[in-house]
């Protein structure tokens, strides 16, 4: 059975991308939405000014700025870096502060951190939000660096496996064009894996998933080799 090459090829690539997105949601704990984390601190009234000064200083270190319209602190994700790294600090988020001084014995400070962008699969966003709250609330003395699972590395592995599944299905059902379709399906994760490996190597403390990218590269190269072998056998037959 012969199908239109563009329809077959781009259809299979699109299916692989959708599968990658779905699996990313699954392995991210089915997290889809705007993540919000909160923390409450109680301290004596006389410690409030020094506490707020230290909090403002630490928020500034992390790139949070006061939003004039809301009074909240915004981390707009304006840090310059590698576009494909997707580090957590690049995701816009808002930190809201409430101070309750109704109790004469102590002050209650409430902190709420909310991601402003849609999170599709938790790759470390919750851990980063908790680390920010712990640091600015003085629960920890240093900001914990949270590594983000590279979506590109994850996708490269999914797409490489998908290339094998598609290749086997095309062969079993004798669907043409076989060779150019499988070549495209194999080259896509190869390119994705190489980009992922480079970006993770440049930021090893901020990105994780090197093994995903390496396995994806190997599996996709094997798929490419199998495709070439099938083409040679067919040409010699």
- Mean pLDDT across the chain: 89
Rounded to whole angstroms, how far apart are CA atoms 105 and 174? 79
- For residue 13, CA distances in Å to 5, 17, 151, 186 come to 12, 6, 16, 10
Q: Where are the alpha helices (DSSP H) in the chain?
A: 5-27, 48-61, 125-136, 151-172, 178-202, 210-236
Asked if 165 and 219 count as a contact pair (C-beta separation under 8 A), the reply is no
- The pLDDT of residue 204 is 85
> Has residue 185 got a pLDDT over 50?
yes
Which pLDDT value is given to residue 1? 66
Residue 37 · residue 113 · CB < 8 Å: yes
Domains of the chain by residue range: 5-27+150-236, 33-147
Residues in the chain: 237
Q: What is the CATH number of domain 33-147?
A: 3.30.300
Per-residue pLDDT tens over the stretch 218-230: 999 999 999 999 8
How would you class 195 by CB atoms within 10 Å of its CB: exposed for 0-12, middle for 13-18, buried for 19 or more?
A: middle
Could you report the per-residue pLDDT of 143-177, keeping only the tens digit for each?
888 888 889 999 999 999 999 999 999 989 888 88
**Which one, of 225, 220, 219, 222, lies nearest residue 179 by Cα?**
225
Q: How far apart are the C-alpha atoms of 28 and 127, rounded to whole Å? A: 12
Beta bridge partners of 93: 75, 115
Distance CA 37, CA 88 (A): 14
CA distances from 234 to 154, 171, 204, 229, 237 (A): 33, 12, 44, 9, 5
pTM of the model: 0.80
């Amino acid at each position: 059975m012969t199908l239109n090459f563009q329809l077959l090829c781009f259809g299979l690539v699109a299916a692989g991308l959708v599968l990658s997105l779905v699996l990313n949601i699954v392995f991210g704990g089915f997290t889809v939405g705007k993540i919000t984390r909160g923390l409450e601190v109680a301290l004596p009234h006389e410690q409030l000014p020094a506490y707020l000064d230290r909090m403002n200083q630490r928020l500034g270190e992390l790139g949070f700025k006061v939003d004039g319209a809301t009074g909240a602190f915004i981390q707009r994700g304006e840090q310059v870096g590698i576009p494909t790294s997707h580090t957590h600090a690049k995701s816009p988020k808002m930190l809201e502060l409430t101070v309750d001084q109704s109790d004469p014995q102590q002050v209650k400070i409430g902190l709420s951190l909310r991601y402003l962008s849609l999170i599709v699969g938790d790759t470390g966003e919750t851990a980063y939000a908790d680390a920010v709250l712990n640091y600015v609330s003085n629960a920890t003395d240093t900001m914990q660096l949270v590594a983000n699972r590279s979506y590109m590395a994850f996708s490269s592995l999914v797409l490489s496996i998908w290339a094998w599944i598609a290749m086997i299905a095309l062969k079993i059902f004798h669907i043409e064009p076989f060779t150019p379709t499988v070549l495209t399906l194999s080259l896509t994760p190869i390119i994705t894996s190489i980009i992922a490996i480079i970006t993770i190597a440049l930021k090893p403390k901020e990105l994780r998933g090197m093994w995903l990218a390496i396995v994806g590269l190997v599996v996709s190269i094997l798929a490419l080799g199998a495709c070439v072998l099938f083409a040679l056998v067919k040409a010699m037959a």
